[in-house]
Amino acid sequence: MSTDTYKDILVGFSFILAEVFVFQHLSFFGATPDPLLIFVLWITMKYDRVKLILIVAGLSFLQDALFDYWGLNMFTKTLLCFMAFNFLNRRKENRLLIWQIFLVIFIAAISHNIIFLGLASFADTYSASFSPIIFILLNSLYTALLGSILFIFKGN
């Protein structure tokens, strides 16, 4: 592995730590963003498919270990990367506008949350009362907003 790969793994780990220490305490109506999803979408345009899936599986398994989901995020994020790989790689040459970035992250977050919720219903992870509308829509909006803000601050 190259030093860029190690740097990206460390950055992904910092996104997980930001979610654990910061964003879990900044919830709006029970909705929290998924910063690792934003990072995963960003590195999708950087690596080939096999390397990307291995990096995403490792990072999301660590996220599962910290949030006690044990495999739900790992499966969901790797499946999302596998499905979105061709679409995102065709767009890596073009500079997208802010509303296009928001829309791509929002659609990816909705897809991620629907798959996650479907898997969680089989595993009975969310047996406590919660609203699927808040989980799917507000988490996706929050993640897309955070991703758009990061895109603005990232610059060129």
DSSP class per residue in 49-118 = HHHHHHHHHHHHHHHHHHHT-SSHHHHHHHHHHHHHHHHHHHTSSS---HHHHHHHHHHHHHHHHHHHHH
What is the rounded average pLDDT of the residues 117-127? 72
Average pLDDT, the chain: 87
Residue owning tokens 């829509």: 137
Supply the range of the domain harboring residue 94. Answer: 3-154
| pLDDT for residue 124 is more than 90 | no
Task: Please give the pLDDT value at position 125.
Answer: 56
Integer Cα distance of 137 and 65 in angstroms = 25
pLDDT tens by residue, 89-105: 887 778 778 898 899 99
Of 3-7, 114-118, 133-137, minimum mean pLDDT range: 133-137
What is the rounded average pLDDT of the residues 4-29? 92
User: E-strand spans in 35-122?
Assistant: none
Q: Which residue has the higher pLDDT, 96 or 20?
A: 20
Q: Is the pTM of this model over 0.85?
A: yes
| pLDDT for residue 12 is more than 60 | yes
Token pair for residue 79?
Answer: 């499946």
For the chain, how many structural domains are there in total?
1
